[in-house]
Amino acid sequence: MKILVSVKRVVDFNVKVRVKADGTGVETANVKMSMNPFDEIAVEEAMRLKEAGVAKEIVVVSCGPQACQETLRTALAIGADRAILVETDTELQPLAVAKLLRKIVEKEQPGVVILGKQAIDDDANQTGQMLAALLNWPQATFASKLKLSSDKAEVTREVDGGLETLSIRLPAVVTTDLRLNEPRYVTLPNIMKAKKKTLETLKPEALGVDVAPRLTTVKVVEPAKRKAGIKVPDAKALIEKLRNEAKVL
Amino acid sequence: MAVLVVAEHDNKSIRKATLNAVTAAHKLGADLHVLVAGDQARPAAEAAAQIAGVTKVLLADAPHLGAFLAENVAALVAGLSKSYSHILAPATSNGKNVMPRVAALLDVQQISDICAVESADTFVRPIYAGNALATVKSADPVKVITVRTTAFDAAPASGGSAPVEPVSPPADAGLSAFVSREFSKSERPELTAAKVIVSGGRGMASGENFTKVLEPLADKLGAAMGASRAAVDAGFVPNDWQVGQTGKIVAPDLYIAVGISGAIQHLAGMKDSRVIVAINKDEEAPIFQVADYGIVGDLFQIVPAVVEELKK
């Protein structure tokens, strides 16, 4: 079985982002970028399926500017076999990405597509579900356990209140939760090897997909800051404050 | 045109998250319908009819809607979309699962997790783990939206008397099947609806300490218990306790963070709480930058002392 994994280049999760002074967005110039953490988990899961002999080939895809090549090289260094970049400088929203991925899926015919459940920049949590809808495939979102057989997958999902297990027909779309696995570190020899792997570049126009954004960002602002609080010396003082000042007890 | 809210329910009653979504929907139109999709869900539909301001309840009742599978529910909602200008659902795990599928079927770009309504086509939503707020305007004919429940008050659960109208859903898509469900049992208030939350982090050092140290405090306050991702990943507590960007978003009156450093991802889930208390031995921990009241010290001494003080 072939597995397709979609990865996104985002501002590193450790970076404290700054809103641009003109309110058009968040400062991304000269900021450390990395692979979206949920997508690392997706690549790792694909690797484990390959190591278990369930998957034969792992193809990674990223959509966005040329710099996404780095993210794809990282995925190749983790162990993916080849990469596809759908290159565009247009701002891509989840529906556009889902449409691009659908074209890639139609070309590559994978048995399973694995995506992160959300990107930590737009926090949308949509692309996997949208891709599944466009393909009319079943979806298993927020997966914390994935068992694949030849024509079915059993997926445990994280839902409000606990866990839920679904059985879905293949081909299918799966999105990863943080607890699905612990991604491995990339080693230097593998980084060197990754440089020799194939990275194909396509354009949205060549795939016949209109990627124009549907949502216009009117402005981006910083959220209201909380006022700096006070430190109290002990439990007695704390309870006194909560009772008489904050009046929450 | 009317506005549709996809209800979160357990077939017998309506979950509170639905009431928050109804409040958001009210800002968009007067004719407000609620869809209850489920299996033997008439009691839930009748409860929905009581919600103040709801003008009609649509009940789609079929065995294949019982598990709220995305494939079946999305097909149903998309089929109803012609009569609506907006389709909303609370941003719960069900809402997040189903609504983007609906949006793609309708070829529209969903707007996730809105925290304010500016006008019928303009909404505010948090991005970058809540470190920025984006105002977005949608040009799509139908607005498909999920609602951050903690950002809207709950609509009154009674006072309404809407008619319940049955609708017939499309046939089972047959793409997926429900196997099993495992819920964490708890006598405590539900995390996202609790007025007080006591939350533990890596500093708790073990799952046992959650029971021994934190539980007496939560009991005393009638609080829900939460956790940071570090505590969940360390296996101290189940993952549905997790508060944060990738867990639950909460905004209680009082949030007590015990042994939690306050990483960006955790703050994203709780910084809209009314009063935040931090108990941490590290004076430099980022949690103190958002806490209204902080105590620097050993949680294993301070928490029991707080419990003692509360008894007075």
The whole-number pLDDT of residue B312 equals: 87
pLDDT in tens, A98-127: 999 999 999 999 999 999 999 999 999 999
Q: Taking the CA of residue A219 as centre, how many other CA atoms within 13 Å lie in the half-sphere pointing to its CB?
A: 7
The whole-number pLDDT of residue A68 equals: 98
pLDDT in tens, B278-295: 999 999 999 999 999 999
Q: Which residue has the tokens 């006008």?
A: B119
Query: B15, B108, B128, B144: which to substitute to probe chain A, counting the most A Cβ within 10 Å?
Result: B128
Angle of CA points A36, A220, A10, to nearest 5°: 10
Please say if the pLDDT value at position B177 is more than 80: yes
Q: Do A226 and B100 touch (CB under 8 A)?
A: no
Question: Prior bond to A171 cis, omega within 30?
Answer: yes
pLDDT in tens, B12-32: 999 999 999 999 999 998 899
pLDDT in tens, B84-109: 999 999 999 999 999 999 999 999 99
Do the Cβ atoms of B280 and B261 come closer than 8 Å?
A: yes
Any CB–CB contact under 8 A between A211 and chain B? no
**Neighbour count for residue B238 (Cβ, 10 Å):** 18
Measured between beta carbons, which residues in chain A are less than 8 angstroms from residue B312?
239
Residue B48 confidence class, pLDDT cut points 50, 70, 90: very high
The whole-number pLDDT of residue A226 equals: 85
Give residue A60's region: left, alpha or beta (phi > 0; psi -120 to 50): beta
Do the Cβ atoms of A120 and A37 come closer than 8 Å?
A: yes
The whole-number pLDDT of residue A225 equals: 86
Do the Cβ atoms of B229 and B246 come closer than 8 Å?
A: yes
Any CB–CB contact under 8 A between A29 and chain B? no
**Neighbour count for residue A162 (Cβ, 10 Å):** 16
User: Chain A 122-141, CB below 8 Å of chain B: which residues?
Assistant: 122-134, 136-141
Residue B157 confidence class, pLDDT cut points 50, 70, 90: very high
Q: How many Å apart are CA B65 and CA B63, to the nearest integer?
A: 5
Q: Do A158 and B295 touch (CB under 8 A)?
A: no
Q: How far is A91 from chain B (nearest CA, A)?
A: 13
Please say if the pLDDT value at position A168 is more than 80: yes
CA-based nearest residue in chain A for residue B280? A231
B226-249 mean pLDDT:
94
Measured between beta carbons, which residues in chain A are less than 8 angstroms from residue B236?
none
Do the Cβ atoms of B138 and A215 come closer than 8 Å?
A: yes
Measured between beta carbons, which residues in chain B are less than 8 angstroms from residue A113?
none
pLDDT in tens, A66-95: 999 999 999 999 999 999 999 999 999 999
Tokens standing for residue B273 = 């709480």
* Cβ contacts of B232 within 8 Å, gap of 6 or more: A179, B238, B239, B241, B242, B247
**Which ipTM score applies to this complex?**
0.96
Do the Cβ atoms of B190 and B155 come closer than 8 Å?
A: no
Per-chain mean pLDDT for chain A? 96
Q: How many Å apart are CA A46 and CA A55, to the nearest integer?
A: 7
Q: Do B71 and A94 touch (CB under 8 A)?
A: no
Q: How far is B51 from chain A (nearest CA, A)?
A: 23
Tokens standing for residue A191 = 């980084």
